[in-house]
């Protein structure tokens, strides 16, 4: 039996929106000790991993682990229907090979149910990249989102250049240019630089990583010269989401 209940259904949409932007399909791993989602873009430039321990849920009843290939776009459509009063309930129907996703109003008890195709795929194994980064900095989620929105006005790529205790963000387009020199406490919450580094990423790829900012307070960003960027979100109930973005070379 699999039955999972999550109270913050309306906040979960910030995560599902990001997943649906990356790919229409992804892998859902429902284990006895963790729920995880793994998704990669068709061009393999963007990857996201979501991890949610049982403590994140109001109810977490999982008798046996299952790995599922499911439609992230359809799942996102359901979660987007959630209001602030809705609990999100996830069950797996083995016979129909489908996720039963329910939205239950905590005040009225009204229950809306949706079925999403989810095929078992035991060949999939959750793996995370093992990367050593030269630069890591913490920043408020809203400030990270501002970087991407500002750059959108100017160009299609964003360059990050870090040394000592500062990170220079730069973008340029036809007759336009944008720059933000970020320093510790202005607005960086923390910064570690083991060696000066510079890398450029497409603005569209980083834009995907801004979706979860609506549910997270802080963001940790890590990169190295011409290396993938890792954007880490930690949410109030112990949920984590890591987004990896390949550099634009």
Q: What was the pLDDT predicted at 238?
A: 87
Are 111 and 68 members of one domain?
yes
Are 231 and 141 members of one domain?
yes
Query: Rounded to 5 degrees, what are φ and ψ at 29?
Result: -110, 115
Question: Given CA atoms 21, 24, 25, 31 in this order, what sign does their dihedral have?
Answer: positive
DSSP 226-248: T--EEEEEE-TTS-EEEEEE---
State the pLDDT confidence band at 40, using cuts at 50, 70 and 90.
Answer: very high
pLDDT in tens, 107-125: 999 999 999 999 999 888 8
How many C-beta atoms surround the C-beta of residue 106 within 10 A? 13
Are 73 and 152 members of one domain?
no
First to last CA, the chain: 47
- pLDDT greater than 90 at residue 187: yes
Question: Given CA atoms 138, 141, 147, 152 in this order, what sign does their dihedral have?
Answer: positive
CA 171 to each of CA 69, 130, 154, 193, 203: distance values in angstroms, whole numbers, following the listed order: 37, 29, 7, 22, 9
The answer to whether residue 125 is domain-embedded is no
Tokens at residue 141, please?
């989620």
**What pTM value is reported for the model?**
0.93
Are 22 and 80 members of one domain?
yes
How large is the C-alpha radius of gyration of the chain? 19
CATH label of the domain that carries residue 57: 3.70.10.10
Are 106 and 152 members of one domain?
no
Q: Could you check whether the bond before residue 125 is cis, i.e. omega within 30 degrees of 0?
A: no
Q: Domain containing 157: what range?
A: 135-245
Cα 222–Cα 239–Cα 83 angle in degrees, nearest 5: 120
Q: By the 8 A CB rule, do 92 and 66 touch? A: yes
Picking from 120, 149, 166, the residue at the C-terminal end of a domain is 120
The answer to whether residue 81 is domain-embedded is yes
pLDDT in tens, 159-184: 999 999 999 999 998 889 999 999 99
The answer to whether residue 168 is domain-embedded is yes
Name the residue among 113, 82, 76 with its Cα closest to residue 98.
113
Tokens at residue 123, please?
């060949």
The structural domain count of the chain equals 2
- pLDDT greater than 90 at residue 200: yes
**Residue 116 neighbours by CB under 8 Å, 6+ apart:** 70, 71, 74, 75, 78, 98, 99, 101
Are 114 and 144 members of one domain?
no
Are 82 and 145 members of one domain?
no
Picking from 64, 91, 120, the residue at the C-terminal end of a domain is 120
The residue ranking higher by pLDDT, 214 or 163, is 163
The answer to whether residue 62 is domain-embedded is yes
- Mean pLDDT within 52-57: 94
The answer to whether residue 181 is domain-embedded is yes
Q: What was the pLDDT predicted at 236?
A: 82
The answer to whether residue 127 is domain-embedded is no
Tokens at residue 181, please?
């020199």
The answer to whether residue 128 is domain-embedded is no
Picking from 120, 151, 169, the residue at the C-terminal end of a domain is 120
């Amino acid at each position: 039996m699999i039955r999972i209940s999550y109270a913050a259904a309306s906040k979960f949409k910030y995560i599902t929106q990001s997943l649906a932007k990356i790919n229409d399909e992804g892998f859902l791993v429902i284990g006895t000790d963790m729920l995880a989602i793994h998704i990669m873009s068709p061009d393999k430039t963007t990857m996201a991993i979501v991890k949610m321990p049982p403590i994140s849920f109001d109810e977490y009843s999982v008798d046996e682990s299952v790995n599922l290939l499911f439609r992230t776009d359809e799942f996102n459509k359901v979660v987007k229907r959630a209001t602030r009063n809705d609990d999100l309930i996830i069950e797996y129907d083995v016979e129909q090979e489908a996720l039963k996703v329910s939205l239950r109003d905590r005040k009225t008890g009204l229950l809306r149910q949706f079925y999403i195709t989810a095929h078992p795929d035991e060949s999939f194994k959750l793996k995370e990249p093992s990367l050593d980064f030269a630069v890591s900095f913490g920043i408020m989620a809203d400030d990270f989102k501002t970087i991407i929105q500002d750059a959108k006005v100017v160009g299609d790529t964003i360059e990050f250049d870090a040394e000592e205790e500062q990170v220079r963000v730069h973008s340029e387009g036809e007759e336009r240019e944008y720059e933000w020199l970020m320093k510790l406490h202005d607005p960086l919450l923390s910064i570690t630089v083991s060696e000066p580094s510079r890398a450029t990423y497409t603005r569209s790829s980083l834009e995907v990583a801004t979706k979860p900012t609506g549910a997270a307070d802080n963001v940790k960003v890590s990169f190295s010269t011409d290396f993938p960027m890792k954007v880490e979100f930690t949410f109030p109930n112990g949920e984590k989401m890591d987004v990896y973005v390949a550099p634009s070379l």
